[in-house]
Structure 1
Amino acid sequence: MPELPEVETIVRDLGARLTGLMVERAEVLLPKVVAAPAPEEFARLIAGRKILGLSRRGKYILIELSRGWVLILHLRMTGQLVYTTVLEPFPKHTHLVLHLDQGVLRFTDLRQFGRASLVPAREVRRVPGLRELGVEPLGAEFVKEDFIRKLARSRRMIKPLLLDQTFLTGLGNIYTDEALHRAGIHPERRAADLDTREAGTLYRAIREVLAEGVAFRGTSVQHYVDGSGQRGRFQEILRVYGKKGVPCPVCGVPIERIRCGGRGTHYCPECQPFER
Structure 2
Amino acid sequence: MPELPEVQSMIDTLIDDGCLNHKIIGVETIMPKLFKNSDFKEFENHIINEKIENISRIGKYLIFHISHKKVFVVHLRMEGKLFYDDADFPYNKRHTLVRIIFNNKKELRYNDTRRFGTFTIYNENDYINSKEISKLALDPLDENFNWKYLKNNISKSSRHIKTLLLDQTNVAGIGNIYADEILHASNINPLKQGNKITDKEFKTISDNATKILQLAVKNKGTTISTYFFKREKKGEFQNFLKVHTKKDKPCTKCKTTIEKIKVNGRGTYFCPKCQNE
TM-score of the aligned structures, taking structure 2 as reference length:
0.94
Shift of residue 153, structure 1, vs aligned partner: 2.7
State the match for 1:95 in structure 2: 97
| Gapped regions of structure 1 (runs ≥ 5) | none
The residue identity in structure 2 corresponding to 1:94 is T
Mapped partners of 1:195, 1:74: distance in 2: 34
State the match for 2:54 in structure 1: 53
| Gapped regions of structure 2 (runs ≥ 5) | none
Determine helix, strand or coil for the equivalent of 1:118.
strand
State the match for 1:263 in structure 2: 266
Mapped partners of 1:229, 1:168: distance in 2: 31
User: Where do residues 1-276 of structure 1 align in structure 2 (5 Å cutoff)?
Assistant: 1-16=1-16, 17-85=18-86, 87-91=88-92, 92-102=94-104, 103-274=106-277
Matched residues, percent identical?
34
- Cα RMSD after superposing both structures: 1.5
Determine helix, strand or coil for the equivalent of 2:134.
coil
Cα pair 2:150 2:170 within 8 Å, conserved: no
Determine helix, strand or coil for the equivalent of 1:35.
coil
Measured against aligned partners, the alpha-carbon deviations of 1:6-35 in whole angstroms (never above 9, x if no partner) come to 111111221232121111110112111222
Determine helix, strand or coil for the equivalent of 1:20.
coil
The residue identity in structure 2 corresponding to 1:25 is G
Mapped partners of 1:261, 1:246: distance in 2: 23
Shift of residue 118, structure 1, vs aligned partner: 1.9
Mapped partners of 1:86, 1:124: distance in 2: 30
The residue identity in structure 2 corresponding to 1:96 is V
Cα pair 1:255 1:266 within 8 Å, conserved: yes
TM-score of the aligned structures, taking structure 1 as reference length:
0.95
The residue identity in structure 2 corresponding to 1:72 is V
> How many residues get paired?
274
Determine helix, strand or coil for the equivalent of 1:130.
helix
Shift of residue 228, structure 1, vs aligned partner: 4.6
Determine helix, strand or coil for the equivalent of 1:18.
coil
